[in-house]
A and B are shown apart, each in its own frame.
Chain A
Amino acid sequence: MSDVVVTKRSKKQAMGKYGRIGKVLDELDDRLGVAKGGRSFLDKIFPDHWSFMLGEIALYSFVVLLATGVFLSLYYIPSSAIVTYHGSYLPLDGQSMTEAYASTVNLSFAVRAGLLMRQMHHWAADIFIGAMVVHMARVFFTGAFRKPRELNWTIGVTLLTLAIVNGFLGYSLPDDLVSGTGIRIAYSIILSVPLVGTYLAFFVFGGNFPGTAVLPRFFILHVLVVPGIMLALVAAHMALLVRQKHTQFPGEGRTEDNVVGTPMFPVFMAKTTGFMLIVTGVTALLGAFAQINPIWQFGPYDASRISYAVQPDWYMAFLDGALRIFPAWSFHSFGHTIPLEVTIPAVIFPGLVFGLAYAWPALERFVTKDVAMHNLLDRPSSRPKRTAAGVAVLAAISMLFIASSTDVIANFFHVSLNTVLWSMRVLVLISPFVAYPIAYKITSELHATRGSGKRKTANVVTRTEEGEYVATAAPAYADDVAHDLAPTPVPQFIETSQPDEEPESGVRAIDR
């Protein structure tokens, strides 16, 4: 044995035809049987459309959240114990504050890259929920939630709900003056639930507000329970996507029974990895240049202090708006109080909005009696009623979003708060009824227009030598031309240079 000279060449031969990678795959396949499935996974086709990357933004923001969140959890202390601050941020020197607030200030100023990580985390959270909402709108307006994908829609709505809850929990953790006020409001909202509200509030907070249990509890919910559930649901969301394959827009060679696009490896993998880097990069740039939630300026929470113009993070704003404009309709009778001025806008209303989202696939099927499988997407214009309904809901929620800054609007435009309040009340109530017919009209008109869904090409007007003006259509965009080409199957094998070798497995033809 020892006299066998191992040369580089013989080593390579011993490795087999595909070198080290082939060897590793052989070993893996012996144990797990991954070759067949792995190969077909690499060939998996992903349809190409810009709107399909909205979900990817959400996914990659989630990755950024997990990574930066782990960093933050190494330095954050979820404790309401009172300490006296003696850190590197001098304006707060000597102030007494909770350990939670002190540790957040410390990780912002004393931990290397701590401030960057905190700002990236906060930005990523705002982007995450934003991307989820826009992704949800895409799925809604193109009818991608229809059979067979109702379950994935349900998972998606759950993910959005959990993301909003977790966003609020995380926002509360620094225990600064603004977020502490947010917790106070959350306590009062839980308190407003009829019959069991008091008990709920006492069990969530471990007693009367503020108590000392809330920060540790919010912390463990924020870093373990909710993200754990979300991680499982994201995995399920992806698994269903792989199992059911992606939807696609109608086009040349696209049918209900195929998928047209680019293969997983290498094209989609390169694009999506690049996109992940861009999402992370943009989040880091925002964290570097756009200040977000400077808690050291707000000061530590003190239940008897408050600052002017307290607004929540953007995804809670529609609830804050609803709380602002809802009239003071408290219900007192039989020795009990139902604070309808809180229960309706902050408990019943969001319940209805998310309930409607959950129920939509079933509602639509009930109305259209459409039980067929759908892999081809609708253009929003081809379903005017659904599109108009979605626009109406978005219009009302946008108005509530604006209503969360009534005081800022009144100040900025020098109008009375009363005028702003009543304007917002009217706008919230009438906006869906105004938006619906407008959206319906526009989408039906668009649908009737020939060539809708295609980019318009320019009309080139030229003047002939005789002085005559001639309009000719400019050639279509190269992208659009390629889009309309007849699709081909992914090349499976190529002929190897030595014809005597078995072409059982081969170099992928597209691995450039």
Chain B
Amino acid sequence: MSEHHEHRTAVSLEGLREDDPHLQPAARNPQLVERVIALTLLVGVVLIIGFGAAYWVNAAPWTLGATMGGGLFFLGVGLIAWAKYLMARGPFVEERHVLATSQDDRDAFAAAIVERGGGVVKRRRVLGGLVGGGLGAFGVVALFPLLRSLGPLPKGTLFHTDWRAGSFAVDITGRRVRVGDLAVGSIVTVYPEGTQNTDRGQAVDQTVLIRLSNENFTTQKGRESWGPMGYVAYSKLCTHLGCPVGLYEQQLQLLVCPCHQSMFNVNNGAIPNFGPAPRPLPQLPLYVDAAGYVRAQSDYHEPVGPGFWERA
């Protein structure tokens, strides 16, 4: 029972001679070490009490963090110093047990599964098949309603916005934009009237309205009537990942997406000339009505925002 007695004397601190390599250099004077550690722990205790006091008086957050963090830190340092300098150091050794069991055990285990279980299943194939089939069917059947209840089917949702023929373009406050409102070079984010304060309006219908000149402006062939009085409107959803194309470089006439720096040239139909966006921003055909309001001729002619499988 006491065969390790010799080892005990080798690891207990008092038994160590000055030149024993087990002895930590700092532990040559254990009384001093103990005092330093005690002081460290004491600082920790005081700070923890300080944390309680700071919380009590509702001190600033940094005071709470400083007292709590400092207290835990000093307690931790003291505890580790105690372990490092005053506890047995070793090194100690322990044998690893072989995890693998004997071949007999493995065979018995495998036999129990294969022969016992296999026997049962073989004799009662129909029953086994029914249990397995029933559970499998439950898994499959459960999957569909589970998935299906998570959300509506996409149907045509991604293909349309709330812009309609005749929709008034309004700003975030709901004010209808009139032809005299924007100076050339100005920009405003507009929504089809009624959606400006809705999630869908902000996430899907958001459109940038830019005034590029005082004359009708044609961005591309076939869009001759889309830019009345220099007003041109593009979807504000980046065709890369759907961030709002929120920066307008007036000098370069580029709409810039701050997420991944796609840039769209507003003069030529918002064709991307830099960055990862693969498609131009869809353009909204506009007209100016008799009262001078800027309105949509129709919805966008293509889906807005990032690409998806069903998009042609």
Q: Which residues of chain A have a CB within 8 Å of any CB of chain B?
A: 43-45, 48, 80, 112-113, 115-116, 119-120, 148, 181, 184-185, 187-189, 191-199, 201-213, 243-245, 253, 256-263, 266-268, 270-271, 273-289, 302-310, 320, 323-330, 332, 335-339, 341-342, 375, 406-407, 417-418, 421, 478, 481-483, 485, 487-495, 503, 509-510, 512
Contacts and interface: CB of A to CB of B under 8 A. Distances in A.
B2 A485 contact: no
B234 to A, nearest CB: 13
A270 B37 CA distance: 13
B243 A337 contact: no
Contacts of B82: 270, 274
Contacts of A495: 2, 5
* Shortest Cβ-Cβ A-B pairs, 4 listed: A288-B65, A284-B69, A277-B76, A281-B73
Given A330-B278, A417-B261, A258 B244 contact: no
Nearest to B84: A271
Given A280-B72, A288-B62, A324 B276 contact: yes
Contact of A493 (B4, B77, B84, B236): B4
Chain B contact-residue range equals 35 or more
Given A278-B76, A337-B307, A342 B240 contact: yes
Contacts, number: 355
A206 B199 CA distance: 14
Contact of B94 (A43, A191, A192): A43
B70 interface: yes
B260 A260 contact: no
B151 interface: yes
A488 B236 contact: no
Contact of A198 (B158, B172, B274): B158
A487 B92 contact: yes
A356 B242 CA distance: 30
Interface stretch (B18-26, B128-136, B174-182, B285-293): B18-26
Given A289-B62, A305-B244, A494 B5 contact: yes
Q: Which of B4, B25, B63, B90 has the most CB of A within 10 A?
A: B90
A489 B13 CA distance: 17
Interface string B35-49: 000000000000000
Contacts of B77: 274, 278
Contacts of B93: 45, 253, 258-260, 487-489
A406 B241 contact: no
A112 B147 CA distance: 41
Given A116-B64, A275-B80, A330 B25 contact: no
Contacts of B203: 184, 208-210, 303-304
